[in-house]
Amino acid sequence: MVTLLVARQVSASRVGAVMNRNLGALRSGASYWLVLLAGFFEPLLYLLSIGVGVGALVKNIQMDDGALVPYAVFVAPAMLAASAMNGALAETAFNFFYKMKYSKTFDAILATPVQPIEVAFGELAWAMVRSALYTAIFLVIMVMFGLAEPWWALAAFPATLLVGMAFGAVGMVVSTLMRGWQDLDLITVGQFSLFLFSGTFAPVGGYPAAVEALVAALPLYHAVELVRGLALGLVSWGLLGHALYLLVMMVAGLWITSRRIQRLLCS
């Protein structure tokens, strides 16, 4: 029922208009490209320093099915998932908040026939452009380094888009709850904690049972497991569970964002 109601409210042309506004702003802001490049290089440097550097010492990692893979091959898909998360959150946490709180961009947009749910869809779609750019380049690097087979890298790309949409939707929700720029520090801490403790650098099966259960509840864990399974060709029914987690996360984020925009800007 909720899905049908949202589908009736959303106009593709109005969502496209929100994206075109962002594209126009991008063309007039050269500094944005520097920020874009900076966000991409962070997970790449982690891959080179930890995946390749530490990998020379660790050698192989045993997967849950007993297979042994080189450490860099194990870490690379996790960095790919983190790259998708970083790209989406950078757009929906920082830029979304600025447009809503300071530049009053959304006030102007909502003075037109555009609805709050269409603002949410348009901003998420725009965030996906950034996230998809990060992951596409990262996948090419993985293939060049021999860390993924080309066909499996291609199969993993849609999964990275789902990761970006899930975190982008939640990022917009968080932006509507922020009080000021100081709250970005809390987002950074949360983002870095997810990055460290979501099975990115070691299999979660080696953790104590209580810690393993906690990690299994984290969103980036599901993102890492989904992307890693596809990138390494370890396809199983469990991947559907990870994908469903991220899909629910995306839908809930979009719905809450639209309600928050309605409450903050239209009441």
Would you list the DSSP string of 159-226?
HHHHHHHHHHHHHHHHHHH--SGGGHHHHHHHHHHHHHSSSSSS-GGGS-HHHHHHHHTSHHHHHHHH
- The two structure tokens encoding residue 134: 């990060």
Question: Residue 86 belongs to what H/E stretch?
Answer: helix 71-89
Query: For residue 2, what pLDDT is reported?
Result: 42
Let me know: does 200 contact 75? Beta carbons within 8 Å.
yes
CB burial of residue 56 (10 Å; 0-12, 13-18, 19+): exposed
Query: For residue 32, what pLDDT is reported?
Result: 55
Let me know: does 93 contact 202? Beta carbons within 8 Å.
no
Residue 266, SS3 per DSSP = coil
Query: For residue 3, what pLDDT is reported?
Result: 43
Low-confidence ranges of the chain (pLDDT < 50): 1-8
Query: For residue 161, what pLDDT is reported?
Result: 94
Total-model pTM = 0.86
CA distances from 253 to 45, 159, 163 (A): 30, 18, 13
Closest CA to 43 of 81, 5, 2, 94: 81
Separation between Cα atoms, residue 256 and residue 252, nearest integer Å:
6
CB burial of residue 265 (10 Å; 0-12, 13-18, 19+): middle
CB burial of residue 110 (10 Å; 0-12, 13-18, 19+): middle
